[in-house]
Structure formats: structure tokens, C-alpha cells
Amino acid sequence: MRTHRHRCEVAVLERTSTTARYARGFAAAVVAVATLVLAANAGPARASGERPAEQADQVQQVTRHSSE
């Protein structure tokens, strides 16, 4: 009868080339920038609850007071 020997083998990480590391870093940077741009554009269309006509009246009032 054979006995099986079990031995623990630790996975040895192979060194990656400098080019591969830079390529992975660049790809991660592109993904991060794309994510930030998409998140910035995903905000609400109108941040305030005011209607555009009310906002236009406020702008006109401010410009009248500052020109006097």
C-alpha cells in the first residue's frame, strides 16, 4: 500500500516586468478617471428646487442692485 505524502507548497509570485506594471498602473488610472467623470455627470439635473423663471428674476435683481 502506498502512502501519499502531502506537502504544503507556497505559491511563489513571479516578478512582473516593469512594462507590465506600468501598463496595469496606467489602465487603473484610466478606469479611475472614467469613473470620476461618470460620477460627476450622474448628479441631479437641477440641484435646487427653484424654477428657472425664478432664478432669472433673481439674477436680474442682483444685476440691477450692483449697477446702481
Given this model, what pLDDT does residue 17 score? 93
Cβ neighbourhood burial of 24 (10 Å; 0-12, 13-18, 19+):
exposed
Number of H helices, E strands in the chain: 2, 0
Measured CA to CA, the distance from residue 35 to residue 46 in angstroms comes to 21
Digit-coded pLDDT (tens) for 43-65: 776 656 556 566 666 666 656 65
Place of cell 488610472: 29
How many residues does the structure list for the chain?
A: 68
pTM for the predicted model, two decimal places: 0.44
